[in-house]
Amino acid sequence: MWNSIYPYVYLALLMSILAWFYTDYKAEREKKTWAKLSFWASAITYAITMFQTEFSFFYKILGMLPRDIGVILGLALIANNLKSSRGFFITAIAAGLGTYLLFSSFVPDTYQKYFGVSSSATRRLDKDAELLIDMKNVGDAEKVRKILAQYNATLSPAFPDLKNKSFSELDDFFVINLPNNDEAILQKVKTVLQNEGYADAIEYNEMVSLSPLEKQSVSAKKNARKYPLDDPQIDQLWSFEAMKMDEFYQYIKEKGIKPRKKVKIAILDTGIDSEHEDIKAKYTSTRSEYNKDKQSHGTHCAGIAASVSNNGVGIASFSPNNNFVTVTSIKVLSDEGWGTDAGIIRGIIEAADGGADVISMSLGGYSNDDKQRAFSEAVRYAQKSGAIVIVAAGNESTDARKVSPANAEGVIVVSAVDAQLKMATFSNYITHLKMGIAAPGVEILSTTPNNSYAAYSGTSMATPYVAGLVAMMKSIRPELTTEQVYAILKNTGIDTGDTDKTGKFIQPLKVIQALQ
């Protein structure tokens, strides 16, 4: 609710500022008093509303406040200078229109349409490889290098370690490193290479970052279902109640369902604490440097997807024992939660080449129109290697088709819902994407480093729920394709409070029944 009313409260604050300046010049003392009271009431309401929105504290302080205060100061200066002229009313109209544009997609969409890149892309590029170029002809690489030499820029293969080059066109991609991340040179290079016809596409190699995790309190639920497991914190998982996990476990036991394959889930994230008491027995190491997690995001996702069930500690996951699923880490984000598009794609390749059956990515960022090209090729590579790719919709309360890799071809995109099965206020919506599904994403208890547990919220938490369920599906029927998996998830899912925006909510028991 708070997220939806926030723009209107902010608009009211701007109008109260205009009223203050206007009455200060035109009105008698009583009206001046009301104008000032209106301003302070609007300002207090604005502060409360911003605090209550479900955006991260980091985003509020560094994203929302500087933007909002900048507009307020600019409006106050203009209003003060124009309060005695007709221009004052033009300012009032401009303030209303400007606020609408500020909180709509008009500005970024227009920028993207005419300049081919989102407005934030030029500010957050990998300083060592600003551009990804899909070469029309790899044999032209030397010609391109000669052109780049004029700008002191270099060219090198983006993904040189492909095990199966025929699976996609990833071997056509190169990275361009520009001196000092110079924006003017970057635009010149793009224009020259496009005009010379050397590129099928040129994409910005953007930085991706996680929002800081905010711990939330959870407690045992009343009237909790009875689970045939001994994990002590399982009764704190409202998600298990919503997904009827007691019936799910009971069905697997009664039907004697056995895995045909032990499926590997690859968590592409900040690493995983491989020694965690509730993960260790299911963990398979890809590289030793991936087996630690200073940020905790990756470990939390791993616990949701594949924590050890029925082991007398912590929580549980979909797999009732250790025979169905194993989990591994591919570290594509730094200890501070930063990564790049190219780095994430390399992680997808590494996971696919390492035999992952399910790739779970609780990450992403705003993209331009062509951004999905490189990601889509990476997903195609993973699919031909036998993997299904699950991706978070994102937490910006906007259209997920603006976010990569959620907008890539071939991925299953996950939105987040709360305990009332309504779309989480922070969740992006998947209305315009081909394969969107919903899972629990608010106050989700899971594993964190050093044998600890914490509850977090985000589509990051919803994504590994779907990854864990898909892994169970693949263990029972390894031949399933992405399209077949999604069809089963959708057809067996139930409506949410916002199904058009979230997709169907997963129902594990019905999924397993559909496989029989």
At 254, list the tokens. Answer: 């009664």
C-beta atoms surrounding 105 within 10 Å? 12
Element (H, E) at 460: helix 459-476
Name residue, tokens 């035109």.
26
Q: Distance between CA 321 and CA 318 in Å, rounded?
A: 9
Peptide bond into 405 cis (omega under 30): yes
Q: Which pair of tokens denotes residue 479?
A: 């031949």
Choose, from 297, 307, 362, 498, the residue flagged as catalytic: 297
C-alpha closest to that of 441 among 511, 496, 375: 496
Expressed in angstroms, the distance from the first to the final Cα of the chain is 42
Secondary structure of 357-384 as H, E, C letters: CEEEECCCEECCCCCHHHHHHHHHHHHH
* Given 42, 309, 360, 460, the catalytic residue: 460
Q: Residue 61 gets which letter from DSSP?
A: I
Measured CA distances, 251 to 49, 335, 487 (Å):
46, 40, 21
Degrees, nearest 5: CA angle 205-160-181 = 30
- Give every CB contact of residue 203 below 8 A, 6+ residues apart in sequence: 131, 132, 133, 134, 341, 368, 370, 371, 373, 374
Looking at 68, 235, 246, 269, which residue is catalytic?
269
3-state SS string for 89-107 = HHHHHHHHHHHHHHHCCHH
Known catalytic residue: 300?
no
Which residues sit opposite 256 in a β-bridge?
none
Half-sphere exposure at residue 207, Cβ-oriented, CA atoms within 13 angstroms: 15
Amino acid in position 25: Y
Any idea which residue has 């036998």 for tokens? 386
Q: Is-contact 466 399, C-beta < 8 A?
A: no
Residue 147, SS3 per DSSP: helix
269 is catalytic: yes
Check: CB of residue 314 under 8 Å from CB of residue 453.
yes
Catalytic status, residue 276: no
Q: How far apart are CA 324 and CA 263, in angstroms?
A: 6
Mode of pairing for the β-strands spanning 173-177 and 154-157? antiparallel
Catalytic residues: 269, 297, 460
